[in-house]
Amino acid sequence: MLLLQEAAHGAATAAHEASALITSANGFRAVYPWLIVGLPLLGFVLNGLLSVLAARRALPTLPPVGDPYYDHAHDDHGHAAVPARAPALAHASVGATEPSEQEAHDHGTDAHPVDASAARQDAHDLHDAHGHDAHDDHGHDDAHAPAGPKPFTHTLPSLIAPGVLIGAFVLAVLNFLAMKGVEPAHRFALSSGWDWMPVGSLQIAAQLQLDPLSIVMTLIITGVGSLIHIFSIGYMKEDPGYPRYMAYLNLFVFFMLMLVLGSSYPVMFVGWEGVGLCSYLLIGFWFREKANADAGKKAFIVNRIGDFGFLVAMMLLFWNVGRLDFVGVNDALLGGNSGVAFGGALITAIALFFFLGATGKSAQIPLYIWLPDAMAGPTPVSALIHAATMVTAGVYLVARSSVIFTMAPSASLVVALVGALTAIFAASIGLKQWDIKKVLAYSTVSQLGFMFAAVGMGAYVAGVFHLMTHAFFKACLFLGSGAVIHAMHHALHSTHNPADAQDMRNMGGLRKYLPVTFLTMLVSTLAIAGVPPFAGFFSKDEIIGAAWLGAEGHSHLSQAALFGISGRVWMGFIGGTLSIAAFMTAFYMGRMMIYTFFGQNRTGEQERKHLHETDWTLKLPLVVLGLLAVVGGFLNVETEVPIVGAFDFGQGEALHHWLHPVLAGSDDLAAQRVGALPEGAHQAWPIFLAIGIGLGGLALAWALLARRKLATADQQPAYENGVEKALYNKWYVDEFYDRTVVRPVGGLSRLFARFDMGVLDWVVDLFGRLAQLFGVAFGRLQTGQVNTYAFVLIVGVLIVLGSFVAL
Amino acid sequence: MNEMSGIAQVPLSLTLGLSAILFGIGVAGVVVRRNAIVLFMCVELMLNAVNLAFVALSPYAGLQGQIFVFFVIAVAAAEAAVGLAIMIAVFRHRESVDMKNFSLLRW
């Protein structure tokens, strides 16, 4: 509290309002904030214990009769290679009575021969290699099916994992209500745990910060997270690694909550790294297939590059501002006596390094390449981590650092520009993908680009708003695709068809078989395409509208310049780019829906009988998220905008007002710097354009593709030539990175390895040999004769005494 | 104390010289001789040379030297008792007290 008061005194008059908002002593009473993060952690511990238990139970306890490896395995002097294999072999020979991970995965590899089209693909193009996803019901109808009831290790996680999440969600709602009940100025609470790093002037506390922005994020994470946990029950319960999966998922939520609730950059960084770890663990969840493990590694390594930026930004911040907690940093920067100049090189560098971190985590150019590969993980993971929550951490970071980015207009323009380019680039790739999850993955990258364009242009509310609506409809789409894959996999598996369960060429006409999935995905598609009155329309329109307003000179960035070109031109460019990207979005989403749910079914005669929806755990989350995708947009309706204003049911710009206390500092700063901006009159044409884009994209997709006859993946070739092939192969960016980054780094590391082994190791060995040599030489003095020792002793004493006398 | 008596009458150079000679004999014996019993005797000789030096110096340095001699005698007695016991034990095993036979503690 002392620090806060000090900060309040330090704040200048211009920033006084913002500081007063933050430092009011009688803030609201937070309801057990630590329990929000604590519950998922508890879930992780419990599920982790269960998974360890399950793994141990899968090992044999009695020596199997006639197993030649067994004795070797328990021989202390046994060969190194044998013990590692023995338990698995032994277990297989005994036969499974419980789902064991080793066993089911061994089946998994031969139950899925690589499909024919994969042979034509590039070796590292893992996308067509067959349905990696949904290993769930392997044990179901195999000869080695687990007999009898499932062990408690595979039933308890179904209660624990969603239970703790729902608990956390309830707490988040309670906190939200408590926050809502007080004046906007008092909507702030810090909850200190302990002093984490008290080192000199670096004082970092393990502290949670509840304010309107973090509570919005917390509600999204725990709310959407709960639904996805429920979906995971139905999707993963037959997987032998079920408890491990739930443990990772809980751990992820814990770290994600630390990320958004932490009160300082270091605490945020803990969550930032933690979610990266969980993302790695879950992408490589089915690590028996090398492609999946490689995808996990790729995600992890690419994210490390971004984290380097985050760390550098944090260090620069501490070096120059001396604080790392959000309140302290904001007060120091707004106070104007921090020595950090507005728009200077330093603040620009800090902002750009933070943005580098954000590009890694949120999959923006140039570090977006890991996210499409991350689809190797289970589909609910894609929905939770790689669509709804973790990948939006970068947007949250920029919104949280709004003061920093407002102080660095050129860096903000870079953010917006990168976002817009990512939006159109990823959308173009999404146009020609066959894998249903790949389409959604590139769609996610593209939508994240929209969010970055928004926060880059200073439209923080629009960015957070799109983050929220995107969490609803993209989670719904991913879960819907999961339900489709689940049904497809089940159908293909029941006839031992080796076809790819994720390839849209093998689907078609699924709306008859999966009605609930179809309807919810349809709603979400309309939302993401920007058709009013669905959620995505409002958020996307707000972003593009901000670009047009900026182009007309109504943004504080309009006068800023980047590369000598004024902000107005850039914003116009961004508006145009985003509009084209939005059109592409509508087109590829329409294409995905048409290929998946319309036309003739291409799954096969026998398989068709097995296409059906499963239990409520798969349907309920879809329905809830579908409803949110319908109504989510009404949370923030710009009342002055024509047409959009018609959807104002008294709530108006609710999110805008809600987030105002957090963003007041940067708003004041912008107003103070640029002066009063002319209030932009909202014109009607951008709205008509936006509606036209959404409907036009869908209509074009329908006109071009609905009548098209497709064959299954083994007959219908992948795109063979021209732009289509380039798009299908993702503009060859992976190949480009391979040539320009991966291979040079590999060559360099081989060079260093040679230097290390040839030169450094030689020097180290030299010292070792020298020591050996000395040992052998002086060892001869050790005769074992007492007389010799006495003689040496006496000579030594004489020398010492003699030296005293001589001195 | 004007009246010099006892050891104070003997010139210091003589007593210290005798002490040095005795100590030198002891050292030479320890370095040269191989018989463990003789080694012990030489060690005792060195201790007693030091005792003599303590006593000789006590008129000039105070009474502590004389008291210290008693400690040295006591320790020497203990050492002789333990040392001789070890010697007997070693002899029972090896039938020898020649130090050149005992060189286990070497490289």
CB A370 within 8 A of CB A313: no
Give me the residues of B, 44-103, that contact A with CB < 8 A: 99-100, 102-103
Which pLDDT does position A89 carry in this prediction? 39
Nearest to A787 among B31, B104, B106 (CB): B31
**Looking at the partner chain, which of B99, B105, B107 has a beta carbon nearest the beta carbon of A787?**
B99
Are A623 and A616 a contacting pair, CB within 8 Å?
Answer: no
In this prediction, residue A65 carries a pLDDT of: 53
Sign of CA dihedral A222, A658, A523, A131: negative
pLDDT at B73 over 50: yes
By Cβ distance, the residue of A779, A785, A794 closest to B107 is A779
CA nearest to B7, candidates B71, B61, B63, B58: B58
Q: Do B102 and A787 touch (CB under 8 A)?
A: no
Question: How far is Cα A172 from Cα A174, in angstroms, rounded to an integer?
Answer: 5
Kindly give, in sequence order, each residue whose CB lies less than 8 Å from that of residue A9, ignoring residues fewer than 6 positions away. none
Question: Which pair of structure tokens corresponds to residue A264?
Answer: 């300082």
Q: What pLDDT shows up at residue A116?
A: 36
Residues in CB range of A501: below 8 A, 6 or more apart:
A130, A131, A133, A134, A485, A488, A489, A492
> Is residue A148 within 8 angstroms of chain B, CB to CB?
no
Query: What does the alpha-carbon distance between residue A173 and residue A161 come to, in Å, rounded to a whole number?
Result: 19
Strand partners, A561: A566
Q: How many CB pairs under 8 A join A and B?
A: 30
pLDDT band for position A784 (cuts 50, 70, 90) = confident
Residues 760-779, chain A: which have Cβ within 8 Å of B? 779
CA proximity to A292, closest of A490, A127, A437? A127
Residue B4: what pLDDT? 56
Read off the pLDDT of residues A672-724 as tens digits, 9 standing for 90 and up: 877 666 666 677 788 888 888 889 988 898 888 877 777 777 777 777 677 77
Q: What percent of chain A has pLDDT over 70?
A: 84
pLDDT of residue A679: 65
**DSSP codes of every residue in A707-746:** T-----TTTSPPP-SHHHHHHHTGGGHHHHHIIIIIHHHH
Distance from CA of B102 to the nearest CA of A (A): 7
- From residue A75, give the alpha-carbon distance in Å to each of A69, A70, A71, A81, A83: 10, 9, 6, 12, 9
Q: What is the mean pLDDT of residues A516-537?
A: 90
Query: Could you identify the residue written with the tokens 């195999």?
Result: A142
Q: Is the pLDDT at A86 greater than 70, yes or no?
A: no
pLDDT of A505 strictly over 80: yes
- The beta-carbon neighbor of B30 closest among A779, A780, A790 is A790
ipTM over cut 0.90: no
CA A302 vs CA A356, A421, A736: distances in Å:
11, 19, 15
Largest CA distance in chain B: 61
* pLDDT over threshold 70, residue A133: no
pLDDT tens digit sequence for A590-615: 999 988 888 888 877 777 777 877 78
Beta bridge partners of A210: A189
Confidence band, pLDDT 50/70/90 cuts, at residue A63: low
CA-nearest residue to A786 within chain B is B99
Give residue A142's pLDDT band: very low, low, confident or very high (50, 70, 90).
very low
- How far, rounded to the nearest angstrom, does the alpha carbon of residue B47 sit from its chain's CA centroid? 2
CB of A709 less than 8 A from some CB of B? no
pLDDT tens digits, one per residue of A208-248: 999 899 999 999 999 999 999 999 998 888 888 889 999 99
Beta-carbon contacts of A657 under 8 Å, excluding residues fewer than 6 positions away, are: A184
